[in-house]
Amino acid sequence: MWWKLSQESYFQEDLKSLRKVILDPRDRYSQLLISHLHEQAAHQGVESVLNEVRVNHWIINARAAVKKAFHNCQK
């Protein structure tokens, strides 16, 4: 029993990464999420938005999706 508890505390970060939501980059939710995070980050670069997206979500081919959102940005 103590072994399982020590494993859980040791691999806590790995367990968190398994709980991410996997999204299709063409999905409307993905596009809205990227746009929202882009505006929230004051229109900063691709890496800043990617880092924010990857906190709780995993978008397949995220870098291309973020670049596309930047291209469509009006500011």
Residue 64 scores a pLDDT above 90:
yes
Which residues face 52 on adjacent strands?
none
Question: How far is residue 8's CA from residue 68's CA, in Å, rounded to a whole number?
Answer: 39
pTM of the model: 0.72
In terms of Cα–Cα distance, which of 32, 42, 64, 38 is closest to 52?
Answer: 38
Kindly report each contact of residues 11-20 with a partner whose C-beta sits within 8 Å and lies 24 or more positions away, as own/partner.
Answer: 20/54, 20/56, 20/57, 20/58
Residue 1 scores a pLDDT above 60:
no
The alpha carbons of the chain give a radius of gyration, in whole angstroms, of: 16
